[in-house]
Amino acid sequence: MDTFDLIVIGSGPAGRRAAIQAAKLGKAVLVVENRLRVGGVSVHTGTIPSKTLRETVLNLSGWRERGFYGLAYRVKKEIEGKDLGARLRMTLDHEIDVLEHQFARNGVRTVAGRARFVGPHRIAIRNGHDGETEYEAARFVIAVGTAPYRPKHIPFNQTNVFDSDDVASDPRVPRSLTVVGAGVIGIEYATIFSALDVPVTLVEPRENFLEFIDREIIDEFVHELRKRGMQLRLGVKVEKVEVDDAGFAVSSLSDGRQIRTEALLYCAGRVGATAALELEACGLTSDDRGRLTVDPKTFQTAVPHIYAAGDVIGFPSLASTSMEQGRIAACHAFGAPMPPAPEYFPYGIYAVPEISTVGLTEQQIKAKGVAYECGVAR
């Protein structure tokens, strides 16, 4: 049985950074990825695909030049799914090649397969051909990421009712779109398709969205969305979704209204991809959304030799913060001097237009009774 100093389960931003940091400390590292190629959710269905899609849309639609040439300006008149998919595949192949080279250069071993714990220091990895192989390690980092939450009352069919993973793997341009969920992912995709002049209706059960962003920024953002024709349905729930005889997705809302669009994208939450890990074998449990609880300074779980980082531990679920979490976890695991955890992480939301923020909002500053001044650049 092969033994390692560290086994990292997952090769997204958190897993990648943890593995390379440990390797630079001279440790023997194994990375387990359940896909055939490394990269994790971030490369295959998350961060990289959505940002590539956004950039492709902005380029082909002439979005950035419309302020000069007018709203009717287009670089390409008819933009189809194949236009988006070609750039996407090229970008993903490049990102995966870079990551594979990075692992090889640092002596990190990788294996494809689905991991499960069979003891506190042992995992079994199953692939489709050779059965299971067991590996041991002194320490682990769980960085398996998340998967879209798929409630039973939503008839997902990958044709006209789909989730964010489906969009990333097979982008299409519907004639009209309902987006359910105004979190970061929902907002990004809703505004990307709106930039293609697709009529978009955004449905969110809360009265507000992106509540960790300063309200003044959100007010300006909402004004921009409404100005370009996006319909916002806030404070209502989607109680039922059906596909009618014409192939349209019909959403029944809690206020009695119905929305009929060619496609529906469901982005109302994600769950930690921990179900297959058999955590009970190593003494861990996840919450009802599959997430793991960690020490916020060290990213150590309740089992001292097991760490968790990235989206699987919850908010803020951003690639940049996940990388830092993975690095801190690896440093703590092997007693290396840890970079101090930032008091505030910067957040970037790649909507159209984009939003970035760091530190406290004006509302939080007021609540703390701290004197402050506001500046607005125009």
Please check whether residues 132 and 40 belong to one and the same domain: yes
Q: Distance between CA atoms of 251 and 89, rounded to whole angstroms?
A: 32
Which of 268, 303, 320 lies at the terminal end of a domain, its last residue?
268
Residues 6+ apart with CB under 8 A from 136: 1, 2, 3, 4, 121, 122
Please check whether residues 261 and 287 belong to one and the same domain: no
Cα–Cα distance list, 34 to 12, 125, 200, 276 (Å): 11, 9, 34, 11
Please check whether residues 65 and 140 belong to one and the same domain: yes
Please check whether residues 175 and 261 belong to one and the same domain: yes
Which of 247, 268, 289 lies at the terminal end of a domain, its last residue?
268
349 domain residue, yes or no: no
Please check whether residues 144 and 281 belong to one and the same domain: yes
pLDDT number for residue 20? 98
Tokens representing 10 are 């997952």
pLDDT tens per residue, range 10-31: 999 999 999 999 999 999 999 9
Q: Distance between CA atoms of 346 and 131, rounded to whole angstroms?
A: 43
Q: Is 123 helix (H, G, I), strand (E, B) or coil?
A: strand
**Secondary element (H or E) of residue 349:** strand 347-349
Please check whether residues 138 and 275 belong to one and the same domain: yes
Which residues, listed in sequence order, are joined to residue 351 by a DSSP beta bridge? none
pLDDT number for residue 250? 97
26 domain residue, yes or no: yes
Please, how many CA atoms are within 13 Å of residue 67, restricted to the half-sphere of its CB? 3
pLDDT number for residue 349? 92
pLDDT number for residue 378? 77
Asked if residue 83 lies in contact with residue 76, where contact means CB atoms within 8 angstroms, the answer is yes
Q: Distance between CA atoms of 174 and 184, rounded to whole angstroms?
A: 21
pLDDT tens per residue, range 216-267: 999 999 999 999 999 999 999 999 999 999 999 999 999 999 999 999 999 9
CA end-to-end span of the chain: 63
Q: What pTM, to 2 d.p., does this model score?
A: 0.90
Q: Is the pLDDT of residue 121 over 80?
A: yes
pLDDT number for residue 299? 96
Domains contained in the chain, number: 2
Containing structural domain, residue 316: 2-148+271-333
Please check whether residues 51 and 75 belong to one and the same domain: yes
133 domain residue, yes or no: yes
Q: Distance between CA atoms of 6 and 36, rounded to whole angstroms?
A: 21
Please check whether residues 116 and 243 belong to one and the same domain: no
pLDDT number for residue 83? 87
Please check whether residues 251 and 290 belong to one and the same domain: no
Q: How far is CA 165 from the centre of its chain?
A: 10
The predicted model gives 122-145 an average pLDDT of 92
350 domain residue, yes or no: no
Read off the amino acid at residue 315: F
| 181: confidence class by pLDDT, cuts 50, 70, 90 | very high
The backbone torsions φ and ψ at residue 105, rounded to the nearest 5 degrees and listed phi first, read -65, -30
| 158: confidence class by pLDDT, cuts 50, 70, 90 | confident
pLDDT tens per residue, range 47-88: 899 999 999 999 999 888 887 887 778 788 888 888 888 888
Please check whether residues 287 and 317 belong to one and the same domain: yes
pLDDT number for residue 66? 82
DSSP 338: P
pLDDT number for residue 243? 95
pLDDT tens per residue, range 319-334: 888 999 999 999 999 9
* pLDDT over 70, % of the chain: 100
297 domain residue, yes or no: yes
| CATH code assigned at 6 | 3.50.50.60
Q: Is 192 helix (H, G, I), strand (E, B) or coil?
A: helix
355 domain residue, yes or no: no
348 domain residue, yes or no: no
| 32: confidence class by pLDDT, cuts 50, 70, 90 | very high
15 domain residue, yes or no: yes
| 377: confidence class by pLDDT, cuts 50, 70, 90 | confident
Which of 268, 284, 305 lies at the terminal end of a domain, its last residue?
268
Asked if residue 30 lies in contact with residue 6, where contact means CB atoms within 8 angstroms, the answer is yes
Please check whether residues 193 and 101 belong to one and the same domain: no
Which residues, listed in sequence order, are joined to residue 3 by a DSSP beta bridge? 136
**Secondary element (H or E) of residue 86:** helix 81-105
pLDDT number for residue 336? 95
pLDDT number for residue 30? 98
Nearest to 88 by CA among 56, 64, 63, 41: 56
Q: Name the E strands within the chain.
A: 2-9, 29-33, 109-112, 114-119, 122-127, 131-142, 146-148, 161-163, 177-180, 200-204, 231-234, 238-243, 249-253, 258-261, 263-266, 270-272, 306-308, 347-349, 355-357
Assign residue 276 a region (left: φ > 0; alpha: ψ between -120 and 50; beta: otherwise): alpha
Q: Is 145 helix (H, G, I), strand (E, B) or coil?
A: coil
Cα–Cα distance list, 65 to 58, 61, 74, 234, 375 (Å): 9, 9, 9, 31, 27
Q: Distance between CA atoms of 14 and 312, rounded to whole angstroms?
A: 10
Tokens representing 372 are 């402050």
The predicted model gives 351-355 an average pLDDT of 95
Please check whether residues 119 and 259 belong to one and the same domain: no
pLDDT number for residue 267? 95
Pairing of strands 177-180, 200-204: parallel
